[in-house]
Amino acid sequence: MEAYRIPIGYWIESFINFFSDNFAFITKAFSEITERGLDWSVDAMMFFPVWVLILTFTAIAFLLSRKRGVTVFTFIGLLLIWNMGLWSATVSTLALVLVSTLFAIAIGIPLGILAALSRVAYRVIMPILDFMQTMPAFVYLIPAIPFFGLGPVAAIFSTVIFSMPPAIRLTCLGIKQVPKELVEAADAFGSTKGQKLMKLQLPIATPTIMAGVNQTTMLALSMVVIAAMIGAKGLGGEVWKAIQRLQPDKGFEAGIGIVIVAIILDRILQQFGVRKN
């Protein structure tokens, strides 16, 4: 007689099927809005000549970082990507990362604030984050397909889930690390919770929150190759295509493009957080 096997997989599949069957109108509306936003972002960037975008991104890197090294690397790195014929794929990747990061931050920062201000919310959210951060990234592709089908929206959904935990954790950590003396002083002067949050806790916690934004962006970018398995385009799609066709040269070139984009975003966000401090 076989031991009783707990049907965890069946329960999860039933849960996914229930939501995909009964709330398809929500996922469909979300898919249409998200795909339009993604297409608009790509079309807006592709509308301009490549050299104009390279100069624009270089200027943005200089204005946000104020670092000559970051500015020069941005200019040379983007020129190299253009020279390798990967500009269109890079634009698609930037749009995917931008949309995914915006969704992750829009959800993650409020949840981080809630976890920092509410002990009950903290006890509920943190175990969920532990689960999310230890789950293999490939698993997040599974619920994305029945909800949104194959394509960029499913890739954005899985990328948001994968990249959101750092934004929540570091927002919560930044607010909790505000010196108690300052919080007590704000209470003594009669500050409301909203005033205390907006004028004291969030400004002091900004460097830590920006570190969370940085990590969220890097995780979103690291997901582009995995998300290519379910229809995401861009540099990740080029890597996946090279793997399928056994083209190591194309795969390494796309990988170099991903590294360049990652370094540019990382250095800009790091300096931006320092400047905010």
For the domain spanning 10-276, the CATH number is 1.10.3720.10
pLDDT band at 273 (very low <50, low <70, confident <90, very high): low
Asked if the model's pLDDT at residue 69 lies above 60, the reply is yes
Question: Any idea where the domains of the chain sit in the sequence?
Answer: 10-276
Mean pLDDT of 191-216: 88
pTM: 0.83
Ranges 23-27, 165-169, 216-220, 236-240: which has the least confidence: 23-27
Per DSSP, the residues of the chain read: -PPP---HHHHHHHHHHHHHHHSHHHHHHHHHHHHHHHHHHHHHHHHS-HHHHHHHHHHHHHHHH--HHHHHHHHHHHHHHHHTT-HHHHHHHHHHHHHHHHHHHHHHHHHHHHHHH-HHHHHHHHHHHHHHHHS-GGGGHHHHHHHH-SSHHHHHHHHHHHHSHHHHHHHHHHHHTS-HHHHHHHHHTT--HHHHIIIIIHHHHHHHHHHHHHHHHHHHHHTHHHHGGGT--SHHHHHHHHHHHT-HHHHHHHHHHHHHHHHHHHHHHHHHHHHH-
Asked if the model's pLDDT at residue 245 lies above 60, the reply is yes
